[in-house]
Amino acid sequence: MGEKSDKKRKKSVEGEDGGREKKKRVSEGGEEKKKKKSKKSVGSGETPVKAVVDKTPSKPVDASHLSPIAVPLADVEVVSKVFELIKKAAKGKLIRRGIREVAKSIRKGQKGICVFAGDVFPVDVIAHLPLTCEEASIPYCFVPYKESLGNAALTKRPTSVLLVTEAAAKTDYADEYKSCRKSIKELQQE
């Protein structure tokens, strides 16, 4: 019986609409202010893509944050070249982003360059993809941070794995694509 009366009392406090109206809070002076939900955007606190591409290679790589399978890890020059390629390919919508989408693309026979984030935990999430890339003869490399990989792909979210499709070789930045592909193949040879 006490439970029903609590619900009635709660309803009367919330109002007739069941609490759906915008909540207001009272400041120290007694004035009412509407609560605002803040949305995180690229301009508010996060660095823009160009800054990420410029700053990421100089950021020190802490080996304790990298997964044990992060081999071959791209060096500073290769990371900056790959990020510039990803940025251009993302504008042309020539990338596949995320574990499921990349695995599906590779399984269907799509070719390109695969880039993994080195700080993905648990490792089991992406552990099968390097082997899949090797079987499909797709060159791949690891970059240190998933946040910088996501920002290079022009997204606000960190990205674990990304595939730059072979269609990028037929665009105006085909030279960059071929250069990155060659650099990554050299990394795999070492």
At 109-138, the pLDDT tens digits run 999 999 999 999 999 999 999 999 999 999
49-96, pLDDT tens digit by residue?
444 444 444 466 777 789 899 999 999 999 999 999 999 999 999 999
Domain identity same for 79 and 160: yes
**HSE of 86 in the Cβ direction (CA atoms, 13 Å)?**
29
Domain identity same for 20 and 60: no
pLDDT higher than threshold 70 for residue 180 = yes
- Which of 145, 162, 54, 182 lies closest to 102, judged by CA? 162
Residue 101 to residue 163: CA distance in whole angstroms? 9
Residues 157 and 117: beta-carbon distance below 8 Å: no
> In Å, how far are 5, 28, 125, 161, 165 from 102, measured between CA atoms?
55, 53, 13, 7, 10
Domain identity same for 108 and 170: yes
Domains contained in the chain, number = 2
In a domain, 18, yes or no: yes
pLDDT higher than threshold 50 for residue 159 = yes
Domain identity same for 30 and 54: no
Host domain of residue 179: 49-189
Domain identity same for 8 and 78: no
In a domain, 122, yes or no: yes
Residue 102: which residues within 8 A CB-CB, separation 6 or more?
96, 114, 129, 161, 162, 163
Q: What is the reported pLDDT for 28?
A: 52
Lowest-pLDDT range, 2-11, 133-142, 179-188? 2-11
15-51, pLDDT tens digit by residue?
455 554 444 454 455 555 554 444 444 444 444 444 4
In a domain, 109, yes or no: yes
Q: What is the reported pLDDT for 45?
A: 43
CA angle, 180 then 184 then 190, to 5°: 150
**Radius of gyration over alpha carbons of the chain, in Å?**
24
pLDDT higher than threshold 70 for residue 166 = yes
| 41 burial level (CB within 10 Å; 0-12, 13-18, 19+) | exposed
Q: Which pTM does this prediction carry? A: 0.69
- Which of 109, 46, 77, 83 lies closest to 187, judged by CA? 77
